[in-house]
Amino acid sequence: MQMGVMGAAVATGISQTAGLLIILLHYVLKKGDLRIRKYKPQGKLFRKIVFRGLPEAIAQFSTPVTTLCMNRVLMTAFGDIGINAFAIISYLSSFTMSVFFGASEGMQPLFGQAYGAKKDDDLKHYYRAGQLISIIGSTLCVAVYVLFPHLLCQLFGASGETLEFTSVHMWEYCWGFIVGSINTMMSAYFYSTKRSGQAIALNIVRSLVMNSLIITFLPMIFGSTVVWHTFGIYEVIVLIGAICLKRVSERKGIIYR
């Protein structure tokens, strides 16, 4: 029996509920020191939490803004086949981005711990390790996309002209994942070391400004086929800016606040 869209919705709800129940076991079984208790709201604390979390909130705008701009350009340049191809690539992009965010969120407590303890060597070690993990993980993902494009496209139901079109252009988009993984880790490094201002600036440029400008205007200058490379191009530009921010903020060493 096929439930179609309703079945997918029910499955999504069940998965989210199951995850919540597993987390609640920590409190129900009273494991560890964390407890749910009454607390008095503190405006200063809320402002600090919002400021620290704002970089990642802004980063979440990257996917919808990029998708909107890409769809507009692809519809004009290639029509329905371009939209269909990008839909498949977007599914792969969502998977790859989850790897980026998972790695950066996993390193964030280590960055914060080393920063709080004012251990320069540990912080530098974790930063290098985080970037190495990001580069290796993203490179492996890109290698799979480049080596098995037809198989991956078929998993999402592509066939015929759409299958061939997507397979040809997949690598042109996916190489940007490697650079994007570095930027994601660098953003986590900034906000984990009380440089939320730099992280916010980086993510605004990356998620709202540079991606929309590059995707919209570069095809007008160099032709429609360059649209597939725009993701990687704007990530490279953002990376250059991120490296400059890091060097400027650490020109006299890591500042502990």
pLDDT tens, 216-242?
999 999 998 899 999 999 999 999 999
Reply yes or no on whether the pLDDT at 256 is more than 80: no
pLDDT at 126: 94
Looking at residue 45, what is its pLDDT?
Answer: 79
99-130 as b/e: b if 16+ CB within 10 A? bbbebbeebbebbbebbeeeeeeebeebbeeb
Cβ atoms within 10 Å, residue 171: 14
Confidence band of 201 (pLDDT split at 50, 70, 90): confident
Q: How far apart are the first and last CA of the chain?
A: 60
pLDDT-above-90 percentage for the chain: 40
Tens-digit pLDDT profile for residues 36-46: 777 787 888 78
Q: Which of 13-22, 137-146, 213-222 has the lowest mean pLDDT?
A: 13-22
Taking each continuous run of H as one helix and of E as one strand, the counts in the chain are 11, 0
pLDDT at 1 over 60: no
Instruction: Look up tokens 């400008």; give the residue.
Output: 213
Q: How many CB atoms lie within 10 A of CB 243?
A: 13
- Is 59 or 221 the better-scoring residue by pLDDT? 221
Q: What's the pTM value of the predicted model, to 2 decimals?
A: 0.83
Instruction: Let me know how long the chain is.
Output: 257
Whole-number average pLDDT of the chain: 87
Cα 62–Cα 82–Cα 70 angle in degrees, nearest 5: 20
Q: Cβ distance 223 to 238 under 8 Å? A: no
The residue among 7 and 19 whose pLDDT is bigger is 19
* Reported confidence tier of residue 4, pLDDT bands at 50, 70, 90: low
Say which range, 2-6, 8-12, 222-226, has the weakest mean pLDDT: 2-6
Looking at residue 19, its pLDDT comes to 82
Q: Are 170 and 146 in contact (CB under 8 A)?
A: yes
The per-residue pLDDT for 3 is 54
The mean-pLDDT minimum among 28-32, 96-100, 198-202 falls in 28-32
- In the chain, pLDDT over 70 holds for what percent of residues? 96
Q: What number is the average pLDDT over the span 236-257?
A: 87
